């Protein structure tokens, strides 16, 4: 009897608390895509994420006292076209393992969260780019990677060791604040090191959104510093890399068509180590027109890369001034049910004569060493036909 009581006590001590509301959700996307690029052999391949990235997640919420809730969200990427484990995310997104791992406390005061977070930079892109988080988003193609911080596949789309506050809706206005102590990796857990190089990367994000019927307007500010030099004699730190992004977005639903527009800038900073600053820009315009149970979507995006920037870790590098890129996508979406969509999309990306950094499929085909691309220039395209199922 005593052994049984001890066993029950141990089991109770290590058992997980039951949440009042636990939901599993997900999205499975599969498509057949034909892709081609100048100087490269075209190919037809089965892919995932043509319309939106495949994922699997769990949400749990527990009611607490004083109207508060404890909330947990665990979400991971999927690549249903391979035998990869949960955490794989398919072509063009191979660096994303977890999409978000969040523990939060919510109430009338808003929501306070911590963990590996999907930032307000990502939320802005999803709100104002109707093709965000897909393989066919022109805006994602020209902002993916390290050129920009704000976007659905950028340096600050998700953040490690992060804190966040999201305000309640105040007459249509919501405000969000994010702070990460390790944006691009594991940051310091103690006081600043006396070593010459301190790899800590931190970021501060602030956003405001206004929603009033068919109108939505949003703005995001993001500031990041990456890597510092510590001067023991002066007991000071100096950032070696820094960037500041500002993004504006708007949408208006005319019922017969919904229009979207974005504009953003990314400015690399200066200090006593790095003396050359550069400003990169990106913009997009999109339209989605409902047609019966489906819709037609059109999106155009372009960027302008400042050739004077020397911060290669935060902006793509080339020579000369024609370093930008542009892209366009035309898609047909056919709703087969409330949760199932058939789609067909054609997308094309063209780049300047002095860059080999941009292509379709989140720049997956871009390679400066590829035949015909070594001196820059060239275009790429993809036709994708697929099915998207949410659950």
- The string of pLDDT tens digits covering residues 222-249 is 998 766 554 555 455 555 567 889 999 9
Question: CA–CA separation, 51 vs 264, rounded Å?
Answer: 24
pLDDT at 362: 84
Question: CA–CA separation, 207 vs 167, rounded Å?
Answer: 11
Residues in the chain with pLDDT < 70?
Answer: 1-20, 87-96, 145-146, 184-200, 226-241, 269-277, 307-322, 367-376
Question: CA–CA separation, 381 vs 147, rounded Å?
Answer: 21
Question: CA–CA separation, 116 vs 182, rounded Å?
Answer: 10
> 315 is written with which tokens?
């902006």
> 258 is written with which tokens?
């919904």
pLDDT at 195: 52
20-390: CATH topology: Porin (2.40.160)
Of 288, 163, 117, 318, residue with least CA distance to 214: 288
Q: How far apart are the first and last CA of the chain?
A: 46
Question: CA–CA separation, 215 vs 250, rounded Å?
Answer: 8
Q: Residue 123 to residues 19, 39, 209, 370, 378: CA-CA distances in angstroms?
A: 26, 36, 11, 34, 31
> What is the residue extent of each domain of the chain?
20-390
Q: What is the reported pTM?
A: 0.85
Q: How many CB atoms lie within 10 A of CB 302?
A: 19
pLDDT at 10: 35
Pairing between β-strand 294-304 and β-strand 279-291 as defined by DSSP bridges: antiparallel
Read off φ and ψ for residue 251, nearest 5 degrees. Answer: -145, 150
**In sequence order, which residues have a C-beta less than 8 Å from that of residue 10 and are 6 or more positions away?**
none
Categorise residue 213: left if φ over 0, alpha if ψ from -120 to 50, beta otherwise: left
Cβ–Cβ < 8 Å for 222, 242: no
Q: How many CB atoms lie within 10 A of CB 63?
A: 11
pLDDT at 23: 94
């Amino acid at each position: 009897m005593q052994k049984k009581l001890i066993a029950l006590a141990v089991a109770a001590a290590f058992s997980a608390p039951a949440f009042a509301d636990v939901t599993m959700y997900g999205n499975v996307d599969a498509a057949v895509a034909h892709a081609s690029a100048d100087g490269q052999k075209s190919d037809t391949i089965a892919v995932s994420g043509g319309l939106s990235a495949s994922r699997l997640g769990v949400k749990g919420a527990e009611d607490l006292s004083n109207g508060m809730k404890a909330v947990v969200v665990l979400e991971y990427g999927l690549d249903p076209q391979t035998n990869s484990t949960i955490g794989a995310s398919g072509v063009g997104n191979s660096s994303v393992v977890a999409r978000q791992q969040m523990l939060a406390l919510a109430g009338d005061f808003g929501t306070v969260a911590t963990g590996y977070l999907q930032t307000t930079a990502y939320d802005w892109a999803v709100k104002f780019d109707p093709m965000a988080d897909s393989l066919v988003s022109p805006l994602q193609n020209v902002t993916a990677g390290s050129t920009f911080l704000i976007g659905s596949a950028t340096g600050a789309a998700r953040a490690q060791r992060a804190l966040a506050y999201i305000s309640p809706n105040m007459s249509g206005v919501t405000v969000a604040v994010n702070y990460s102590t390790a944006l691009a990796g594991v940051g310091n857990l103690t006081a600043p090191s006396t070593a010459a190089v301190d790899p800590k990367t931190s970021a501060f994000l602030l956003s405001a959104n206004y929603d009033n019927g068919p109108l939505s307007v949003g703005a995001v500010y993001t500031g990041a510093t990456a890597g510092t030099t510590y001067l023991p004699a002066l007991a000071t730190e100096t950032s070696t890399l820094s960037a500041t992004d500002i993004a504006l977005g708007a949408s208006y639903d005319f019922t017969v068509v919904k229009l979207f527009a974005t504009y953003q800038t990314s400015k690399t900073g200066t200090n006593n180590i790095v003396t050359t600053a550069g400003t990169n820009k990106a913009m997009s315009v999109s339209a989605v027109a409902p047609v019966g149970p489906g819709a037609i979507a059109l999106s155009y995006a372009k960027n302008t890369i400042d050739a004077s920037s020397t911060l290669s870790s935060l902006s793509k590098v080339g020579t000369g001034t024609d370093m930008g890129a542009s892209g366009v996508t035309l898609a047909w979406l056919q709703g087969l049910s409330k949760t199932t969509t058939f789609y067909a999309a054609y997308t094309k990306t063209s780049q300047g004569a002095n860059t080999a950094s941009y292509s379709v499929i989140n720049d997956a085909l871009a390679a400066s060493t590829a035949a015909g691309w070594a001196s820059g220039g060239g275009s790429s395209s993809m036709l994708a036909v697929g099915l998207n199922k949410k659950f």
